[in-house]
Amino acid sequence: MSFLRVDGAKITDEQGCEVVLRGAGLGGWMMMENFITGFPGCEFQIREALSEVLGNAKAEFFFDKYLEHFFAEEDAEFFKSLGLNCIRIAVNYHHFEDDQNPRVLKANAFKHLDRVIAACAKHSVYTIIDLHAAPGGQSGGWHADAGMHRPMFWKHRDFQDRVVWLWKELATHYKDNPWVAGYNLLNEPADPTPQAQGLIRLYDRLFQVIREDVKDKRHIIFLDGNTFATDFSGFPEDVKDGIRWSNAAFAIHDYAVEGFPGERGEEYEGMPEEVAMIRQKYERKRRWMDDRGLCVWNGEWGPVYARKEYDGEKTDRINARRERVLRDQLAIYKEDKLSWSIWLYKDIGFQGMVYLSRDTPYMQHFSDFLARKHRLAVDAWGKDDTNVKHIYAPIEALIRESVADPTYLKLYPPLWSVQERVTRVSRTILVAEFLVKEWAEMFRGMDEQKLEELARSFRFENCHKRGGLNQQLRENAGMDLLG
């Protein structure tokens, strides 16, 4: 084992041998997400609601058991069996501090994170700590646990100060652990300031605290581009010499629309012109780094999959197309010797390498609720709004017709069209908010034994493996470059 470091455009071990990191994101664990686990809205909302129904002690019991069972040594062993060598662990700041008691480290803050990092190390798997949710929400939306669509993190200096404090705690704790490959400072930032000035100032502050205050110079720092890890145009030119931001890799997120519901996803055949389109978008995302000889890491990518309970007889046909997208992306990455982390390791059946059996107590208990949530397209990620599109289309039309100048419709972030913004605000925030109480009420009357049964549904032995996905990952694991 060895600390890893960035050498030009490559990642190497301490002997200078190239290491290509190939793995997956552990999402939905220390940063819960609605489409991964099946709840509506954001993690903070369901935690509050479950405490109201069960009381604080029982609610904490359930969530602690959930963390215990979601990822255990069996998961690390399976992960290694595929030849993969790195897990990106998404974490929520709430595990380390309380909003009513900021900058005070919680008791047992590192309990589960230490356990999983140690389990991965036992099987020679590196980990990357990814701050997925920051105070106020660095990008808005469910995946920043924000409860709103505007990223208030950039509006309040105190939120940013708390992230600087948190990274000092994390770096101090893991400074001497070589199995931690590095720190992904902030997932998918969406800084609306001109030229991402707020993000650049934050990165400067975080380098100062990690490199100079903590004296941690051996861990790689992974830097997401602005606007959901797609835009590096505002990044400073003096990072090329490695002095301003030393031992750094730059993270893109390379989701291909061909791997999601929609016209292009339903028609994808892997024709040369289709593959060329995927390659063109990927190369555009990494061009800023390539032009400067910098190291690129693909922190998230990967298609979503159809489910028989929702997609019926079309399921196999859809998934064959999604696996073609997967294959074609992997071929591009292999050619470039790109380090990557596919999204996602485990979920309830939409995107994970492994997913809960429909026979588990959790899936049985929530099956009707999940079906209704799917029909209402409450989750933004990979949404299929076929059943509700006609309801929201008039709202979109009203906005377009009522705004005097079409240029005023182009708000930040530019990735969100009028339709996407209506989706985010009206369905994934508003409608979801009205479903939170119902989800929590489904736990009413449960004792600790029943809560344990639900949480145990997430154990590896209670999951199915997504065969086509895992086979392709195994074939592309790059056993000759595992470090």
Catalytically annotated residues: 188, 300
Q: Crossing angle of helices 448-456/361-375, nearest 10°?
A: 70
Q: Return the bridge partners of 24, or none.
A: 87, 342
Name the strands in the sheet holding 463-465, side by side, starting at the edge strand that comes first in the sequence. 346-347, 354-356, 463-465
Cβ neighbours, 10 Å, residue 379: 24
Among 354, 358, 380, smallest CA distance to 309 is for 358
Residue type, 193: T
Per the CB < 8 A criterion, the answer to whether 466 and 355 are in contact is: yes
The two most distant CA atoms of the chain are separated, in Å, by 63
Angle at CA 95, nearest 5°, toward 92 and 101? 115
* Whole-angstrom distance, CA of residue 232 vs CA of residue 323: 30
Pair type for strands 10-12 and 5-7: antiparallel
Backbone φ and ψ of 355, nearest 5°: -150, 155
